[in-house]
Structure 1
Amino acid sequence: MRHLPYPLDLGPMVHIIIAPDSYKGTATAEQAARLLGEGVRSVIRDAEITLAPMADGGEGTAATFDGRTITLPTTDAAGRLTEASYVFDGSTAYIDIAAASGLPAVADNKVPLTGDTYGTGVLIADAQTRGASRIVLCLGGSATSDAGTGILVALGATPMNAEGYSLPKGGGSLGDLDSIDTAQLNIPAAAVEWVLLTDVSATVPQAATVYAPQKGASAEDVMLLDAALTHAAETLGIDPHTPGFGAAGAVPVGLYWLSTMLHGTADHIHVLPGAPLVADALGLPESIPQAQLVITGEGAFDEQSLTGKVVGTIADLVEGTDATLAIAAGRIDVDPGADVITVAMGEPGDVEKQLFDAGAQIAADYLRISTAQG
């Protein structure tokens, strides 16, 4: 990494916003923002630095919202006892599906056909008993492909086959879905306002073909899940090709059916890209036009990065302003365009040093560009 050997004063204060995603498995968004900021300040001593750790609906999104952290016993995607947390502000619960139903907890024994979201449903039901009238469910990082049926079971609804027997848990059995019994439904929990934050725009078939292999599905499993999830969506009256409805193993399918069944309309459920909503919550649309340099980043900058992910959302907000965009990533696989500062940090090693050095290099490159432009 190259950077200036001493901090500089630049006259008028430079306003810098640092808004990275998490670097999965190596640094949280909060850690990345802090370390990048320390690197920047080693070069531009008097910069006004705003840290705005971001998320896109994946794991860590709930923590970007203000509120009290609630932790309780629940189950993971394999049905094993665990603990999980969510954020509660008195009327809204912010819940990462990865908190209870995430892939890391079952990495030792992946459950592509039988994993379910029941544990997430436990968190949802708990939040409603505490007074939550709105559930913001962040859909990235799940280990499941169950169309949200585990959540439905936790809320008292039972998926049934044509013979009237309850289905085994997980997406592998959804090819036999015929109806959902709501006789024991927890109506107060089911009737909340749902905001589902997606980190991908996947359709239901893509939940199987693109994302199930990451959850341990074999080629044969993928074919089974593709048919099962598509059948479940069609049985519940949902177009399987709706963008976003394949997120988190097609969780929006079950929850959309639940909300529209109870209310008679889709007015109480919203499936939205996560990154723009988080950016709005942090005030970035207002603050970025006032900045001179905006730094974002993620583990790998690739062809998906500019399609609804954190880096793409930040790039969209910088476009048309006078700010310079900088990206710090482990890999830079595609060209982000002209006038964008990039730093490729390489394979994870001493991540704290890599992020610090990336911040310093971005600051040095920004100074060089600024000087060249007069």
Structure 2
Amino acid sequence: MKVLIAPDSFKGSSDALTVAHAMQNGILKVDSKSETVILPMADGGEGTMINLVQATNGTVVTANSVDPLGRQMESKYGISGDGKTAIIELATSSGIDLLNAEELNPLKTTTYGTGMLIKDALERNIKHFIICLGGSATNDAGVGLLQALGFRFLDKNGLDINLGGQYIKDIVTIDDSNVMSLMKEANFEIACDVTNPLIGTNGASYIFGPQKGASVEVVKILDNAIEQFANIIEQQKNLSIHQIEGAGAAGGTAGSMFAFLNANLKRGIELVIDFVELNEMLKQENFDLIITGEGKIDGQTAGGKVISGMCQKAHEYGIPIIALGGSVEGNLSELYNQGLTAAYSITNGPMNLEEAMQNSSCLIEQQTEQIFRTIKMINK
């Protein structure tokens, strides 16, 4: 039997490669002659960087950066195995988890640190970028990120504005004459699973601002400032980003990257599937089965998670697919419609979440073994 093992991480417990090896061990315990291919997967959210590094035998590099409040820090990003692609998670430098509750303030936070990581990768002669926008603490419309790359945002006196969302309202002119020359050949893909536009009651500030510390009053200030900024972009670039689907991601960072970096916005799982060349693999290899998984499988999993993407591809190529989860609950009918054959929980008895997470690798291996013992008996 030839099996593609393509799980996501089990969040807070095991990364995707560890999960895949546990699945592989369970299979080989039953049939040492089975051929297994390991492909760590991700959906564009937390963990995407390390999963894609592992999937391509790439490397993780450390670079100088700043946190959302401009404080010096070291941060990490990934470089693919062929050395051509940088995988950057905005949350590693501009993320909400880097601040405590008292520090959350979208008037002050900036994406400058993420721009520093892009700059570091450009200086390593990398030209292709995958940017994952989840988990931001910012609402600066990506201006900080662009400032780190040499874009200048000038006030009425011709002076550079300071870092932070509160200064977006002061922008009068945008000057790109000092942008890094390396940017000319760079191309950007953004993992963006939200559909919110840049401005308005369904936009970046109103929907995501409160969770980043914005009061009702601050939300209005930020939305008005970003609308004014978008108007200036339209005047100078003849491009309207106000209502572009997904432009509101990461406090408007997606919109600015689209406008200034010609970035391509994609659903996270679709971006990952393209990057790891899954379609080509499924065309060339005669897999008998796919096994995937992630920490929790429920009714929401069908909405763009790794299991959903893998089920759709399995269905497209006529391959049975089994999914393992730390828990399996709720109505999975949509996953079955997408192609899922069956889903199994890895827990084998009464246990709390902490116990399951601490023993996830062992539990994954044991459940995979039991599944394949059943498969082997049926195929006798």
Please give the range of the TM-score, normalised by the shorter of the 2 chains: 0.7 to 0.9
1:354 pairs, out of 357, 360, 372, with 360
How far apart are the structure 1 equivalents of 2:273 and 2:107? 35
Read off the aligned partner of 1:115 and give its amino acid letter.
T
Query: What does residue 94 of structure 2 align with?
Result: 101
Read off the aligned partner of 1:215 and give its amino acid letter.
K
Query: What does residue 242 of structure 1 align with?
Result: 244
Residue 121 of structure 1: SS of its match in structure 2? helix
Query: What does residue 7 of structure 1 align with?
Result: none
> Kindly, what percent of the aligned residue pairs are identical?
30
Q: How does 1:16-165 map to 2 (within 5 A)?
A: 16-43=3-30, 45-63=32-50, 64-65=52-53, 66=56, 67-88=58-79, 90-107=83-100, 109-162=103-156, 164=158
Q: Which has the higher helix share?
A: 2
Query: What does residue 306 of structure 1 align with?
Result: 302
Runs of 5+ in structure 2 lacking a partner?
235-239
| 1:187–1:283 distance in 2 versus 1, CA, 3 Å | closer
| 1:207–1:25 distance in 2 versus 1, CA, 3 Å | farther
The alpha-carbon deviation at position 317 of structure 1 amounts to 0.8
How far apart are the structure 1 equivalents of 2:31 and 2:207? 43
Runs of 5+ in structure 1 lacking a partner?
1-13, 260-265
The alpha-carbon deviation at position 81 of structure 1 amounts to 1.0
Query: What does residue 237 of structure 2 align with?
Result: none
| 1:35–1:217 distance in 2 versus 1, CA, 3 Å | farther
**Alpha-carbon displacement from aligned partner over 1:165-198 (angstroms, at most 9, x marks no partner):** 5444333443454432335x22314434222221
**Alpha-carbon displacement from aligned partner over 1:106-140 (angstroms, at most 9, x marks no partner):** 24633433211111111222222232233332323
How far apart are the structure 2 equivalents of 1:303 and 1:222? 32
CA contact (8 A) 2:326 2:356 kept: no
- Name which of structure 1's ranges 98-107 and 172-181 shifts more when overlaid on structure 2: 172-181
**Alpha-carbon displacement from aligned partner over 1:224-268 (angstroms, at most 9, x marks no partner):** 444444443344233333223223222122222223xxxxxx5xx
Query: What does residue 6 of structure 1 align with?
Result: none
**TM score, norm. by length of structure 1:** 0.79
How far apart are the structure 1 equivalents of 2:275 and 2:120? 24
**Alpha-carbon displacement from aligned partner over 1:189-230 (angstroms, at most 9, x marks no partner):** 443422222141332344334444443445554454444444
Residue 236 of structure 1: SS of its match in structure 2? helix
| 1:305–1:248 distance in 2 versus 1, CA, 3 Å | farther
CA contact (8 A) 1:37 1:356 kept: no
The alpha-carbon deviation at position 51 of structure 1 amounts to 2.0
| 1:215–1:327 distance in 2 versus 1, CA, 3 Å | farther
CA contact (8 A) 2:241 2:255 kept: no
The alpha-carbon deviation at position 74 of structure 1 amounts to 1.3
- Name which of structure 1's ranges 74-83 and 329-338 shifts more when overlaid on structure 2: 329-338
How far apart are the structure 2 equivalents of 1:42 and 1:218? 56
CA contact (8 A) 1:137 1:196 kept: yes
Q: How does 1:268-287 map to 2 (within 5 A)?
A: 269-287=263-281
Indicate yes or no: 2:293 matched with 1:297: yes
CA contact (8 A) 1:42 1:360 kept: no
Read off the aligned partner of 1:244 and give its amino acid letter.
G
| 1:16–1:257 distance in 2 versus 1, CA, 3 Å | same
Residue 353 of structure 2: SS of its match in structure 1? coil
Q: How many residues align?
A: 352
Residue 250 of structure 1: SS of its match in structure 2? helix
**TM score, norm. by length of structure 2:** 0.78
Read off the aligned partner of 1:127 and give its amino acid letter.
A
CA contact (8 A) 2:12 2:357 kept: no
The alpha-carbon deviation at position 343 of structure 1 amounts to 1.9
| 1:41–1:333 distance in 2 versus 1, CA, 3 Å | farther
**Alpha-carbon displacement from aligned partner over 1:254-306 (angstroms, at most 9, x marks no partner):** 222223xxxxxx5xx32223323322343432444733332223333355533
- Name which of structure 1's ranges 214-223 and 196-205 shifts more when overlaid on structure 2: 214-223
CA contact (8 A) 1:59 1:97 kept: no
| 1:91–1:371 distance in 2 versus 1, CA, 3 Å | closer
CA contact (8 A) 1:55 1:61 kept: yes
How far apart are the structure 2 equivalents of 1:331 and 1:163? 59
**Alpha-carbon displacement from aligned partner over 1:299-339 (angstroms, at most 9, x marks no partner):** 33355533333222111111131322324244534413263
Q: How does 1:132-211 map to 2 (within 5 A)?
A: 132-162=126-156, 164=158, 166-183=160-177, 185-203=178-196, 204=198, 205-211=202-208
